Amino acid sequence: MNVSADARRGGPDAGAMGDTRDNTARKSKTNKVFFTPDRIAYVLVFVLAVALYYRSLYYVAVWDDHALMTGEALGGGTFWGALTKPFLGQYYRPLTSLSYWFDFQNFRSNIFLWHQSSILLHAFGAMVAGMLGKAVSGNKWVGVLAAAAFAVQPSQVAAAAWVGGRTDVLSALVVPLFLLLTVKFFQTDKGRYLVGATLVLYVAAMVKEQNLAILLAVPALQAAFGTPTRKRLAVTATALAVPTIVFIATWLQYRQYASTTFPPSIVEGIARVGGCAANYFFLLVAPTSAPQATISLANFESIGWIAFGMAVLVGSLVAVWLVYKKDKVLAAVGACALALYFPVSNAIPMPSLLVGPYRVATVGALLAVLAAMLVERQWANKRPAVAVAVGVVIAFWAWATHRDMDVWKTEAGFFQAVAKHDPHSIIGQLNVVSSLIADRRFEEAFSASEAYLGWLMEGSDWRASLDAGKGLTMNARQSRRLEYNTGVRILDTKYLSGVVCNRATAMSGLGQTKQAKACFESALQIDPKCAPALFALGDIATPTDKELAVRLFKKAIAVRGVMAEYAHLGAILKDLGRYEEAAEAYRGALKRGDWLGDLWVDLAESEDMAGKSLLAQEAIAAAEGKLIANKDRFKEIKDRISRKSATLKSKG
């Protein structure tokens, strides 16, 4: 299909529906009617986007949400920390961090309002996708359809329904906005659009560094919508280079990427790219439930899946090239989608999980625009069957989104879905077994741990090694399976030691204390900083070797520093008569949650035994009204402190 330059700019040759748009626009200007039919349609799409995700307002914290809601993942929860510290300890994404920081400061633990922020951002993203669709097609109804397609697209679910997907819901808003301003500049040659595009590009990079990949598609946009003169190319390149260079300089100053696992060979690298493409095909184009709960590439290791994924990827590249000869506008939008897919394709090794259902939300925005343009093109070319088919696909997207959204409803539900659809995911296995342990279902937890380690360590005598406290030695095949799960070498030991630690905890719950101790020691062989293993071994050592227990608890605190570690350390130090140190440990526990009255009682007793009467009185007073399990002990210590205080006053 040949599309004239006038049509590409939204002129009179934009098609029959475009003529209707122009006539309506002229009448609107004359009559000064604000709520034109297309604007009313946009309002309805906004309402649709919110209504579709309404039930996610009641979803609980899942996965990374906990660290976000405490401020731990945001540089400690301060404005400057959010702006300069690595997001989630790995990524320099300051504007994403600041959006979370705003919620942290205003909403704290009210996750309903955190979800509200994400849903509203998603709805505004639909509006921007619609404006982009209108700009590239010259047809206001294409814009409305693009907005609706974006609103219901399954690739937006993990970004919009999960608080932790904020990076991608923001990206799906700002990247299309950058494209909109860039297209407007090429269409009109007005400098204000280029200035706007330059500023928004910097914002997009500060939201997610991978968004800079959209620059790869700018030449295609210029060829489709502008006149590619040398002067214009130079002006555009210079303007967009400024925010890129500034961001890179800032990123080099503050970034802290996790160590990346590079594939051992080119063949392995191609396998990752192919497996990744196969997974995202079933999220973006033909959505099934599995990709919403897939966080590893373990399901896509076979040659068949890798070949399928590579065929999808190569086929997409060829399709864009072939379409470019007939329809530069459609090809340019396709090029934008491919450019945004590039940084999450594993063509460049990922610094975190190899796949995630939230990662392609921005690609989905461009696919929504493509789908709307295809409907308009096929209808104008008198191919209503094709247009209807694309419309049916969009309707199917809406149904799939409704079907799969609840995977993010609860943490247990999410990881159970991961265990079902991605059974070899080490993160899914860790969390499912942890929930079984929390429910004291130790036999099931032990069986699940055994099954997973049996798959991962197939072909080796791993049980004997673990039960001897020697850790695990992995061959190339086993290491590859682990890398397909995470892709981050620095985290591989953390996850693997966690699986071993869960097995040990289940054994301990079954009364197999000696075997559990050896298994915890194996976890430390795998990862010397495995805090759960340090804590468990400290607990095991407490009855027989309190000094060893003190050392182990201190190591656990240095790595993780949770309330239970401080509380156990305080109890042992108090038993050893080291009361000032015990009081310091209890204060550390209370900093992580001051609601537990028994800890205030322990602190009061330690301060009292250390001869610090005033501090003991303050601590026992703070225990009043708190949750206290042993009320008799509270009364006994309170009376003792009161008597000592009265005695000191009488002497004074």
pLDDT tens digits, one per residue of 313-370: 999 999 999 998 889 999 999 999 999 999 888 887 776 788 889 999 999 999 999 9
Cα 286 to Cα 393: distance, rounded to the nearest angstrom: 8
Cα 174 to Cα 12: distance, rounded to the nearest angstrom: 30
What is the pLDDT, as a whole number, of residue 631?
86
User: Which residues on neighbouring strands pair with residue 87, listed in sequence order?
Assistant: 91
Q: How confident is the model at residue 651 (pLDDT cuts 50, 70, 90)?
A: low
Q: How confident is the model at residue 474 (pLDDT cuts 50, 70, 90)?
A: confident
Cα 434 to Cα 449: distance, rounded to the nearest angstrom: 10
Instruction: Tell whether the model's pLDDT for residue 487 goes beyond 80.
Output: no
What is the pLDDT, as a whole number, of residue 261?
63
Q: How far is CA 259 from the centre of its chain?
A: 18
Cβ pair 99, 117 in contact under 8 A: yes
Of the candidates 351, 485, 488, which has an alpha carbon nearest to the alpha carbon of residue 429? Answer: 485
pLDDT digit string (tens) for 61-100? 888 888 888 777 777 677 887 787 777 767 788 899 999 9
Instruction: Tell whether the model's pLDDT for residue 643 goes beyond 70.
Output: yes
Cβ pair 147, 130 in contact under 8 A: yes
Q: Nearest 10 degrees: CA dihedral of 622, 627, 632, 635?
A: 20
Name residues whose C-beta falls within 8 Å of residue 253's C-beta, 6 or more positions apart in sequence.
Answer: none
Name residues whose C-beta falls within 8 Å of residue 134's C-beta, 6 or more positions apart in sequence.
Answer: 10, 140, 142, 143, 146
- 27-36, 120-129, 323-332, 341-350: which has the minimum mean pLDDT? 27-36
Cβ pair 207, 93 in contact under 8 A: yes
Mean pLDDT score of the chain, rounded to an integer?
A: 86
pLDDT digit string (tens) for 411-439? 888 988 998 899 888 888 888 898 889 88
What is the pLDDT, as a whole number, of residue 35?
78
Give the three-state DSSP class for 618. helix
Query: Which of 460-472 are b and which e, b meaning 16 or more Cβ less than 10 Å from the residue's Cβ?
Result: bebeebbbebebb
Could you tell me how many residues make up the chain? 652
**Structure tokens given for 355:** 């796949």
Give the mean pLDDT of 244-262. Answer: 76
A 10 A CB-CB count for 58 gives 10
**Structure tokens given for 475:** 């061959």
The percentage of residues in the chain with a pLDDT greater than 90, rounded to a whole number, is 50
pLDDT digit string (tens) for 522-581? 999 999 999 999 999 999 999 999 999 999 999 999 988 888 999 999 999 999 999 999
What is the pLDDT, as a whole number, of residue 17?
44
Which helix or strand (DSSP H or E) is residue 496 part of? Answer: helix 489-509
Cα 116 to Cα 133: distance, rounded to the nearest angstrom: 26
Instruction: Tell whether the model's pLDDT for residue 466 goes beyond 90.
Output: yes
Helix 94-107 to helix 111-137 angle, to the nearest 10 degrees?
Answer: 140
**Sign of the dihedral defined by the CA atoms of residues 308, 309, 311, 312, in that order:** positive
Give the mean pLDDT of 207-212. Answer: 92
Cβ pair 214, 202 in contact under 8 A: no
Q: What is the 3-state secondary structure (H, E, C) of 81-141?
A: HHHHCCECCCECCHHHHHHHHHHHHHHCCCHHHHHHHHHHHHHHHHHHHHHHHHHHHCCHH
Q: How confident is the model at residue 646 (pLDDT cuts 50, 70, 90)?
A: confident
Name residues whose C-beta falls within 8 Å of residue 173's C-beta, 6 or more positions apart in sequence.
Answer: 121, 124, 125, 128
pLDDT digit string (tens) for 218-227? 999 998 987 7
What is the pLDDT, as a whole number, of residue 1?
40
Residue carrying the six token digits 């072909």 = 459
Q: How far is CA 262 from the centre of its chain?
A: 22
Give the three-state DSSP class for 625. coil
**Structure tokens given for 638:** 């309170």
Instruction: Tell whether the model's pLDDT for residue 500 goes beyond 90.
Output: yes
Instruction: Tell whether the model's pLDDT for residue 3 goes beyond 60.
Output: no
DSSP assigned state of 59:
-
Cα 106 to Cα 100: distance, rounded to the nearest angstrom: 10
- 245 compared with 379, residue with greater pLDDT: 245
